[in-house]
Structure 1
Amino acid sequence: MPDENSAITAALRALRLRLPAGQVHDSGPGYDDGIALWNGAVQRRPGIVLSCSSTNDVVAGVRAAREFGLALSVRGRGHDYAGRALVDGGLTLDLRPLHGVRVYPEARIAEVGGGASANHLLAAADEHGLVAATGTIGAVGMAGLTLGGGYGPLAGRVGLAADNLLAAELVLADGSVLRTDSHHEPDLLWALRGGGGNFGVVTSMTVQLHAVPAVVTGMVLYPWKQAEQILGRVREAQQDCPDGLTIQVGAVGSPDGSPALLVLPTWSGDLATGTDPSGPVMALSRLGDPVFAELGAVPYAATVAGRDAMFPDGRHVTLRTRSVPGLSPDVIDVVDRFGGELPTPMSGISLHHFHGAAARVAPADTAFVLRRTHLMAETIAVWPTGDAGDKARHWADEASAALAPHAFSGGYANLLGPEATDQIPNIYGDNLPRLQRIKTAVDPDRVFSGTPLPLA
């Protein structure tokens, strides 16, 4: 069997015969750009980066990896903190050129390229007064977000990003191209709605759009000494929460570097209700004595894009996640403790609100199984470079361990790295056997492992 270097050399030669040389990189500026991820702590070096501008390019890449025995990875936008977009010594398919979006306003659907970000999709939809179910940050890739589930500010009204996936085109492990929707290969569509990047390379998706001309959102910052009190009041607000209101809350660094409690609401209902001083949104600015409060009506696309500055490329990141039933006194105690001990001002704890429409989907209807009202806790440790990483990682591990007794046994697949060995076996619950059967049918050699999938 040829060694890795000779396999890479042979694959490079074959790909350069089949594709323009400018798309096939093993060094130089194109290579450097292809391996520069959002998480600067990731130092993996693929043997080849293939820049894919068509489905045929993806087919060529998959077939070359199989022919020459190279490990394969898929890069959407590269926001996965665990760095699974890259594979040491293997072949990385860079889908970022596939970022086109085509909107069909009368049908309220969009065709979205496999390398498109939330910003790409929302900007195109906004031209027609429409929005899509996305995450909180605009630079995140839509395919990766959707395949793992896709928590976001509109989940209470329109469901997860995965719930809005209508169809997809995939390149399978044997290099064949398949389209799945509710009438063609429906089992595979079911698996893509939360089962992660485990079944093929999604080169395009069809997603549902929604008429939400504007949202009422912004942020309210409270001093950390009020955190326990405010979190208790957020719990009350979330327990009596209309579908149109999603309340994200968490610990962040304030402008002076000290911890602060962030309340981040998004209201997607009637604007008059959202801006009413006595309504449920504006009440969130009166839970205590805020140091900053700014809430108002804005286009959804603009507010999602505006949050990108909070998470710039290149910083070093590690992340842990637990899903908890709600802001119980025990959970509040953990958040109060670890939120008050942020290892760096860039670190934080974010509690993503899952309720309403997303919680009314039956657990067996999609691969995403956790369909009861809950909070997805994202404990994110961020540092620029250097020795701060050990302290940051320790803090994230300790916070995750403290939440574990109060959490569900699994977790959010998109945010679980390979170290989460206690959570990975329980991600998919009763849906796991069906996912395993589908995996065996379409990828028996286990070429794809975009997100954790326990295999029998």
Structure 2
Amino acid sequence: MVARPTTAGALTPEALDRLRGQVRGRMYLPDDPGYDEARAVYNAMIDKRPALVLQCQDVADVIAGVAAARDTGLDLAVRGGGHNGPGLGTCEGGIVLDLAPMDGVQVDPAGARAVVEGGARWGDVDHATHAFGLACPSGIISTTGVGGLTLGGGMGHLTRTYGLTVDNLLAADVVLADGSLVTADAEHHPDLFWALRGGGGNFGVVTAFTFRLHPVGTVVGGPMLWPVERAAELLRWYRDFLPSAPEHLNGFFAFHIVPPVPPFPEELHLQRMCGVVWCWTGPAEDAEAALAPARALQPALDGVQPMPYPMLQTAFDALLPPGDQWYWRADFIGEIPDEAVELHAEHGATLPTVQSTMHLYPIDGAAHRTGRTDTAFSYRDATWAMVISGVDHDPARAAELRDWSAGYWDAIHPYSLGGAYVNMIMEEGQDRVRAGYRENYDRLLAVKHRYDPDNLFHVNQNIR
């Protein structure tokens, strides 16, 4: 199988008329009012002009959109929340299937599961499940799309306690390249179900996900921050402390510049800091003991408090709105030797903007109880997923953001496991995609041959 050529066809008037007669969703062409808003993705560094944006209302619209791309030979991009760093929810001159109108969430509280449509965002899920004291492991920003995050793996505040998002995926409804709709689960299309759990959007359009839910209502969470001059001390403590901590304790290490807004105290505004954003999901009365070792290090800011889980999930939304410039680099990390600690401290002290950051997401605990080949997500031996993000609203700073992120990554990469979380890499070449899947790549390729032999679904971190 060879890679499908990009934008080889054309959207003729006849093809457009045929599609209009098949869909209920809104169609946007380049000359239409609202087209620029419809084509926009989260990362403003990405500025592509598709030939058509179809805002799908239902599965029938998805089937029609897939057929249009297949019949015309145009590129096909599928957009959930649009958060993808390299902008793989859009394409130049092709067709974008925007699933945003398909955002329904149905919760079965007795069965502790939820059926979530492919265009929903995690804030939609948290809103629906929190009413029943339940949650599904996801990310850390509520505006992230359910589809993209899930298909890459899914990690965030609940990973150590309840595993990755894909570890809680029970079934998926998928529109395939031939236009058929199948349900993939452990008994039906098990090879496809395996591939969807970490293999990205390579195999079809997922129109609905069925998730297992867990009892999560009020958590004890929030940030603790220390001056960046203490970064090496804090990171050495964190790397030793967290892997041995109770699995109810989640916490990602980060570098930040304190935003000059409430509730941060004025004396910390615009200060470079290092810290940990905590989430304790166990009994509230045990949180103080679990967090006592961190408090013994006397943080300059202690924002940890009881809160509804959706409140923690939305804590970064205002800081990281859509429309900013983003450049990501990422790696999986097994251990953090002292040499790497010093490099983190050096680069963390040079954050270029208030929104730029480095996060180390823990992916041990419950995530380690699934084997390396049990799902397409291979890095079950990793302890952290690192992401370095250069972010700012000003396009004039794009080169600076890229240089800082790439320089930081160049320094740390020799201490990594070699591959990265596919949801957090840019367009970095096929070797990086292979490294992200390691021994699972060949099996993913076999599933690709079976379900998408012509590589219709190639606007992604592509399994070629």
Q: Tell me if the contact between 2:78 and 2:96 (Cα under 8 Å) persists in the aligned partners.
A: yes
1:422-446 C-alpha deviation (Å, 9 max, x unpaired)? 5322111111111110000000011
Check if 1:167 corresponds to 2:177: no
Alignment-derived partner of residue 271 in structure 1: 284
Find the residue that maps to 2:220 and give its secondary structure: strand
Find the residue that maps to 2:11 and give its secondary structure: helix
Alignment-derived partner of residue 285 in structure 1: 295
Q: Which amino acid aligns with 2:335?
A: G
Change (3 A) 1:366 1:22: closer
Percent of aligned positions that are identical: 35
Cα distance in 2 for residues equivalent to 1:236 and 1:144: 32
Once the two structures are superposed, the pairs formed by residues 334-349 of structure 1 within 5 Å of their partners are 334-349=343-358
The partner residue of 2:113 within 109, 120, 138 is 109
Moved over 4 A (4+): 3-6
Once the two structures are superposed, the pairs formed by residues 17-416 of structure 1 within 5 Å of their partners are 17-20=21-24, 22-255=26-259, 256-274=269-287, 276=288, 279-287=289-297, 289-416=298-425
- Structure 1 position 374, deviation (Å): 1.1
Find the residue that maps to 2:346 and give its secondary structure: helix
Q: Tell me if the contact between 1:16 and 1:24 (Cα under 8 Å) persists in the aligned partners.
A: no
Greater shift, 416-425 or 168-177, is seen at 416-425
Change (3 A) 1:339 1:273: same
Greater shift, 298-307 or 88-97, is seen at 298-307
Q: Which amino acid aligns with 2:243?
A: Q
Greater shift, 325-334 or 4-13, is seen at 4-13
- Structure 1 position 295, deviation (Å): 0.9
- Structure 1 position 331, deviation (Å): 2.0
Q: Tell me if the contact between 1:8 and 1:48 (Cα under 8 Å) persists in the aligned partners.
A: no
- Structure 1 position 170, deviation (Å): 0.7
Q: Which amino acid aligns with 1:118?
A: W
1:117-164 C-alpha deviation (Å, 9 max, x unpaired)? 111011100111111111011110111111100011111111000111
Number of residue pairs matched by the alignment: 449
Q: Tell me if the contact between 2:90 and 2:96 (Cα under 8 Å) persists in the aligned partners.
A: yes
1:267-321 C-alpha deviation (Å, 9 max, x unpaired)? 11111101x2xx122432332x422111111111221023211211111001000
Alignment-derived partner of residue 3 in structure 2: none
- Structure 1 position 420, deviation (Å): 5.1
Find the residue that maps to 1:306 and give its secondary structure: coil
Cα distance in 2 for residues equivalent to 1:422 and 1:342: 29
Change (3 A) 1:331 1:10: farther
Change (3 A) 1:144 1:5: closer
Which structure 2 residue ranges, 5 or more long, are not aligned? 1-6, 260-268
Find the residue that maps to 2:315 and give its secondary structure: helix
Find the residue that maps to 2:303 and give its secondary structure: strand
Find the residue that maps to 2:18 and give its secondary structure: helix
Find the residue that maps to 1:28 and give its secondary structure: coil
Q: Tell me if the contact between 2:23 and 2:60 (Cα under 8 Å) persists in the aligned partners.
A: no
Cα distance in 2 for residues equivalent to 1:283 and 1:234: 10
Cα distance in 2 for residues equivalent to 1:115 and 1:49: 14
Once the two structures are superposed, the pairs formed by residues 436-455 of structure 1 within 5 Å of their partners are 436-455=445-464
1:138-197 C-alpha deviation (Å, 9 max, x unpaired)? 110111111100011111111000111100111111111111111111111111111111
Q: Which amino acid aligns with 2:364?
A: H
Q: Tell me if the contact between 1:8 and 1:70 (Cα under 8 Å) persists in the aligned partners.
A: no
Find the residue that maps to 2:342 and give its secondary structure: helix
Change (3 A) 1:37 1:335: same
Q: Tell me if the contact between 1:148 and 1:194 (Cα under 8 Å) persists in the aligned partners.
A: yes
Find the residue that maps to 2:442 and give its secondary structure: helix
- Structure 1 position 386, deviation (Å): 3.4
- Structure 1 position 56, deviation (Å): 0.3
Find the residue that maps to 1:272 and give its secondary structure: helix
Cα distance in 1 for residues equivalent to 2:323 and 2:128: 27
Q: Tell me if the contact between 2:252 and 2:276 (Cα under 8 Å) persists in the aligned partners.
A: yes
Structure of higher RCO (CA pairs closer than 8 Å, 6+ residues apart): 2
Q: Tell me if the contact between 2:25 and 2:54 (Cα under 8 Å) persists in the aligned partners.
A: no
Q: Tell me if the contact between 1:413 and 1:451 (Cα under 8 Å) persists in the aligned partners.
A: no
Q: Which amino acid aligns with 2:294?
A: L
RMSD of aligned residue pairs (Cα, Å): 1.7
Find the residue that maps to 1:150 and give its secondary structure: coil
Greater shift, 308-317 or 385-394, is seen at 385-394
Change (3 A) 1:29 1:165: farther
Change (3 A) 1:305 1:71: same
TM normalised by structure 2 equals 0.93
Q: Tell me if the contact between 2:24 and 2:57 (Cα under 8 Å) persists in the aligned partners.
A: no
- Structure 1 position 221, deviation (Å): 1.2
Find the residue that maps to 1:273 and give its secondary structure: helix
1:224-281 C-alpha deviation (Å, 9 max, x unpaired)? 111111111112211321111112011111233332102111111111101x2xx122
Find the residue that maps to 1:184 and give its secondary structure: coil
Cα distance in 2 for residues equivalent to 1:373 and 1:85: 28
- Structure 1 position 24, deviation (Å): 4.8
Change (3 A) 1:5 1:372: closer
Find the residue that maps to 1:368 and give its secondary structure: coil
- Structure 1 position 23, deviation (Å): 3.8
